[in-house]
């Protein structure tokens, strides 16, 4: 198996004259929690949008397990095994917590056109949904309306929707943004144990360096739309340009 997991080759994204990403080439390895860091405006979210089909690259290609990602619509990319979370919490507030996860499960299991089935009576489906919720500690909230959850639980539900489609590659966009320190710790522990299961590979953007250094095996640093550096936590911590560009004010 020498086929690269996620391979980004020479990707450029321009909006008019503004170049958001410039000739990015990188490879994400399966099973290795990878972080993407960089100051605001470095192009992280644009990069995610390219990986998930929200945007198309101006130049270059993205391949996932040997199949082209660029040019595909979001739902097809999800079916290929890439699922993303959003920086702004993106759940279905009027549905119950369980229903939120069922939406993703129905998509994953291709049950959307079973017009004759009754979704609330489908015990197998509910059991699978509950399994995902319990894994994230949301089990007791299953029948609450999602809009009534606390902020931290909403972020967890967001993650539950992502995981329910059983992706191989999980793109998390600032999963702990706005969380309290306790919630942040809980999420780090959760992500670590999920990563240890070996089912998912995480790619994470994050502002909080404690989260990044606590989770990542490998780090990419974006700066002004370019790939400034990559390496292990130690390498990035010691990297002079990274320190100058970004870490200076945050690490010691």
Partner 1 sequence: MRKKIQLGVLLLLAVVLVLLPKVSPFFIVFVATEILILGLFATSFNLMFGYCGLLSFGHGAFFGTGAYVAGLLLQHLQWDFIWVLAVAPLAAAVGATLIGWLCVRLNEVYFSMLTLAFGMMVFAIAHQWRSVTGGSDGLAGFPLTEVGIGLDIVLANPFHFYYLTLLIVALSLAAIYLLTISPFGLILRAMRENTERVAFAGIPANRYRLYGFILSGLFSGLAGALFATFSRVAVPEMSHWTQSAEPILMTILGGSQYFFGPLAGAAVFLGLKTLITSYTSEWMIYLGVILLGMVLFLPKGIFGLLERWLGGRT
Contact positions vs partner 1 (CB under 8 A): 52, 54, 73-75, 78-79, 83-84, 86, 90-95, 99-100, 102-104, 106-108, 111-120, 122, 161, 164-165
Q: Min. distance of Cβ 127 from partner 1 in angstroms?
A: 15
Burial 189-212 (b: 16+ CB within 10 A, else e): ebbeebbeeeebbbbbbbebbebb
CA nearest 161: which of 94, 240, 107?
Answer: 107
Nearer to partner 1, 114 or 199 (CB): 114
- Distance of CA 30 to CAs 5, 82, 178, 182, Å? 6, 12, 29, 29
CB of 165 to partner 1, least distance (A): 5
Among all chains, which residue has been given the structure tokens 């197998």? Answer: 124
Sign of the CA dihedral 122, 135, 185, 233? negative
CB of 90 to partner 1, least distance (A): 5
Task: Kindly tell me which of 175 and 225 has the beta carbon lying closer to partner 1.
Answer: 175
Q: Closest CB to partner 1 among 65 and 95?
A: 95
Nearest distance from residue 108's CB to partner 1, in Å? Answer: 6
Q: Closest CB to partner 1 among 18 and 115?
A: 115
Instruction: Identify the DSSP state of 176.
Output: T
Q: In the complex, what is the shortest distance from the CB of residue 56 to partner 1, in angstroms, rounded to a whole number?
A: 15
Q: What is the DSSP string of 97-108?
A: HHHHHHHHHHHH
Nearer to partner 1, 94 or 134 (CB): 94
Give bridge partners of residue 217 from the DSSP assignment: none
Cβ within 8 Å of residue 178, ≥6 positions away: 151, 155
Least separation, in Å, of the C-beta of 87 and partner 1?
13
Q: Which CB, 157 or 245, lies closer to partner 1?
A: 157
């Amino acid at each position: 198996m020498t086929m690269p997991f996620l391979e980004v080759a020479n990707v450029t994204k321009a909006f008019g004259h503004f170049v958001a990403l410039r000739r990015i080439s990188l490879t994400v390895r399966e099973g290795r929690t990878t972080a993407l860091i960089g100051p605001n405006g470095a192009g992280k979210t644009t990069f995610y949008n390219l990986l998930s089909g929200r945007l198309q690259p101006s130049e270059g290609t993205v391949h996932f397990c040997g199949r082209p990602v660029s040019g595909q619509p979001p739902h097809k990319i999800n079916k290929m095994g890439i699922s993303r979370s959003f920086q702004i919490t993106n759940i279905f507030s009027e549905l119950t917590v369980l229903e939120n996860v069922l939406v993703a499960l129905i998509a994953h299991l291709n049950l959307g056109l079973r017009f004759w089935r009754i979704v609330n009576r489908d015990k197998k489906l509910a059991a699978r949904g509950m399994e995902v919720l319990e894994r994230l500690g949301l089990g007791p909230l299953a029948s609450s309306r999602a809009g009534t959850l606390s902020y931290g639980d909403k972020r967890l539900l967001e993650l539950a929707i992502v995981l329910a489609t059983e992706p191989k590659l999980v793109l998390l966009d600032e999963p702990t943004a706005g969380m309290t320190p306790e919630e942040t710790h809980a999420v780090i522990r959760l992500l670590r144990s999920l990563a240890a299961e070996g089912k998912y590979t995480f790619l994470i953007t994050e502002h909080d360096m404690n989260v990044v250094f606590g989770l990542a095996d490998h780090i990419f640093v974006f700066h002004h739309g370019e790939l400034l550096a990559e390496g292990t936590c130690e390498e990035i911590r010691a990297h002079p340009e990274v320190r100058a560009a970004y870490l200076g004010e945050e690490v010691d």
